[in-house]
Amino acid sequence: MNKELIINAAPTGVEIALLEDKKLVELHNEKTDANFAVGDLYLGKVKKLIPGLNAAFVDVGFEKDAFLHYTDLSPYARSIIKFTQIAMSDKGEQAFDFARFQSEPEIVKTGKINEVLNGKPHVLVQILKEPIAAKGPRLSCELSLPGRFVVVTPFNEIVAVSKKIHSSEERKRLHKIVEAIRPKNFGVIVRTAAEGKSTAELHQDMLSLVETWKNIQQNLKGAVAPVRIMSEETKTTSILRDLLSADFNRIVVNDKNLFQVTQSYIQRIAPDKTDIVSLYHNGLPIFDQFGVTKQVKSSFGKTVNLPSGAYLIIEHTEALHVVDVNSGYKSVSNNQEDNALETNLEAAEEIARQLRLRDIGGIIVVDFIDMKLPDNKRKVQEAMEQFMKADRAKHSVLPISKFGLLQITRQRMRPEVNINTAESCPACNGTGKITSTLLLEDEIEKKLHYLVSHSHKNLTIVVHPIVHSYLTKGLFSSIIKKWKKKHKVKLKAQANTNYHLTEFKFFDEREEEIKF
């Protein structure tokens, strides 16, 4: 599979399109003034404890207080609160040595929020979910700093290896390396991308994350809540960090500064892939050149058409998203069961792409075309799971129910991408109403009279073919003939199929349009 990243820098922000085999699968929009992105670290002030919800509302500077549930507190919540107080009051030139930090006892899983956050302290928190609709951000105290090969989790000593690394020998090797190189008070999760990497590469990644933690300590000195302590990397670099693989063969950027940032980041995390980054110079907009704009227009909206003639209807309700699969005029055989299976398999691939592209989260219910055979239902479910393997968001696919419904849950991290692809009608300018056709003849004659009074003697009127037929009907008694006689003017009518019904334009003898 060939992966391409097309990056469009605009004054309002950066748009990032991820293409897999030339097909648009992810679209990200990073605004220049974006705050409260997933992964950002904030110094928050606990405002309100809600024992009934076992949660707290924390002021992080957003218009609505952020939500922190007890289950997101992290077992090391007391250590984080203690660390926050020490770092804020630290007066030294250098950040204090984190390796000497004495951790507090872990909190119990079934505890109460007011036992931990009593006194409404300042606390270092991480954005778990961006603000969505009328809700503020959701927070976590389980702090993590992701790198290319490892994720560092302060305040514990646990080393874990990604379950996606299947070789037991490789898992043992990575565990042994990380255990030897990790600093005290830092837990480490080894990512899938670390498979086959050397000690030096892992160590370099670890050192850069430890340096980031030192910067966090520095930023906490004298900080006044609420304030942002550290931003997650830009969307471009975070996508590269998570997705960069041997399949990536091109990254195209249309901005010189962003090109240099991207190139230096690639140089740092994967020096052998520096040559895949290129700067786009062509005059055509970058998204038009690579077919992104056209795919956006065809992929968003209520109806999504499939190549075979089948189509999807995607609708959003307060509780969930609903996808309805319709066969359209698709028919591969005379067997109804085979037709249903073929259409459902094609729809499953497009639905998996749509979930990623629109970043749809929560509960999704898919109404597939009814199939009678249990084997076919199983095939569609397995295909859905296979197509969703490339999705980075956590998800779960349930078997097709007796009613032919397939239920999916997908992690909701940020607001859904929603692009309005409809355009205003050129005839009515989006009002749904046009000038009465009964008055069209009078309006044309009024404009003709105005032009004749301003010394125009040779005119051509261009109109819609239906109006042309109406104006020229009758050999001697046509409306055009009457106008020529009445206004003493040379006048001819022409039909243009591109004009809408009530559109008309006058041209002079030099065939130049006359503007009113």
Query: Maximum Cα–Cα distance for the chain, whole Å?
Result: 105
Instruction: Report the b/e string of 467-482 with b at 16+ CB within 10 A.
Output: bbebbbeeeeeebbee
Contact (Cβ atoms closer than 8 angstroms) between residue 39 and residue 126: yes
This prediction's pTM: 0.66
| CA-wise closest residue to 23 among 353, 384, 387 | 353
Q: Which two tokens stand for residue 418?
A: 């929603």
Q: What DSSP string describes 59-79?
A: ESSSSS-EEEEGGGS-TTHHH
**pLDDT tens digits for 17-56?**
889 888 999 888 877 666 777 888 999 999 999 999 999 9
Spell out the alpha helix ranges (H) of 104-182: 113-116, 168-181
Cα(500)–Cα(424) distance, integer angstroms: 14
Cα(513)–Cα(461) distance, integer angstroms: 10
**Measured CA angle at 68 (ends 65, 72), to 5 deg:** 160
Cα(500)–Cα(426) distance, integer angstroms: 8
Q: What is the mean pLDDT of residues 475-504?
A: 89
Of 208-222, 239-253, 392-406, 454-468, minimum mean pLDDT range: 239-253
Q: Kindly report the backbone phi and psi dihedral angles of residue 431, in degrees, each rounded to the nearest multiple of 5, phi listed first.
A: -85, -20
Cα(487)–Cα(376) distance, integer angstroms: 75
Q: Domain 301-410: which CATH class?
A: alpha beta
Angle at which helices 168-181 and 199-220 pack, to 10 degrees? 50
CATH 3.40.1170 for domain 3-34+234-292: no
**pLDDT tens digits for 413-456?**
666 777 766 667 777 777 777 777 678 888 899 999 999 998 88
Q: What is the pLDDT of residue 207?
A: 92
**pLDDT tens digits for 433-442?**
777 767 888 8
Q: What is the mean pLDDT of residues 141-158?
A: 91
Q: Which two tokens stand for residue 474?
A: 């009758």
Other CB atoms within 10 Å distance of the CB of residue 225: 20
Contact (Cβ atoms closer than 8 angstroms) between residue 367 and residue 405: yes
Task: Enumerate residues 6+ apart whose C-beta is below 8 A from 437.
Answer: 501, 502
State percent of the chain over pLDDT 90. Answer: 41
**Measured CA angle at 28 (ends 26, 29), to 5 deg:** 160
The count of C-alpha atoms lying within 13 angstroms of the C-alpha of 419, restricted to the half-sphere facing its C-beta, is 17
CATH of range 41-230; options 3.40.50.970, 2.40.50.140, 3.40.50.300, 2.60.40.10? 2.40.50.140
Cα(513)–Cα(5) distance, integer angstroms: 45
43 sits in which H/E element: strand 41-50
**pLDDT tens digits for 230-248?**
886 666 677 777 766 667 7
Residues present in the chain in total: 516
Average pLDDT over the chain, rounded to an integer: 87
Quote the strand ranges of 341-433, DSSP E: 362-367, 395-397, 405-410
Higher local confidence (pLDDT), 175 or 419: 175
Q: What SS3 state is found at 27?
A: strand
**pLDDT tens digits for 375-400?**
999 999 999 999 999 888 899 999 99
Q: Which two tokens stand for residue 357?
A: 């592209």
Cα(49)–Cα(119) distance, integer angstroms: 10
**pLDDT tens digits for 83-113?**
999 888 887 777 778 888 888 899 988 899 9
Contact (Cβ atoms closer than 8 angstroms) between residue 363 and residue 321: yes
Q: What is the pLDDT of residue 68?
A: 94
Amino acid at 361: G
Q: What is the pLDDT of residue 409?
A: 95
Token match 């206004």: residue?
487
Q: Radius of gyration (Cα) for the chain, nearest Å?
A: 32
Instruction: Classify strands 23-31 and 13-20 as parallel, antiparallel or unpaired.
Output: antiparallel
Quote the strand ranges of 155-240, DSSP E: 159-161, 186-190, 227-230
Q: Which two tokens stand for residue 116?
A: 């931990």
Confidence of residue 516 (pLDDT cuts 50, 70, 90): confident
Spell out the alpha helix ranges (H) of 270-335: 286-289, 292-299
Cα(240)–Cα(269) distance, integer angstroms: 9
Contact (Cβ atoms closer than 8 angstroms) between residue 310 and residue 330: yes
Confidence of residue 330 (pLDDT cuts 50, 70, 90): low
Q: What is the dihedral of CA 253, 259, 265, 271, to 10 degrees?
A: 90
Contact (Cβ atoms closer than 8 angstroms) between residue 424 and residue 500: no
User: Is residue 331 over pLDDT 70?
Assistant: no
User: Is residue 304 over pLDDT 80?
Assistant: yes
Cα(449)–Cα(513) distance, integer angstroms: 16
Residue 323 CA, distance from chain mean position: 19
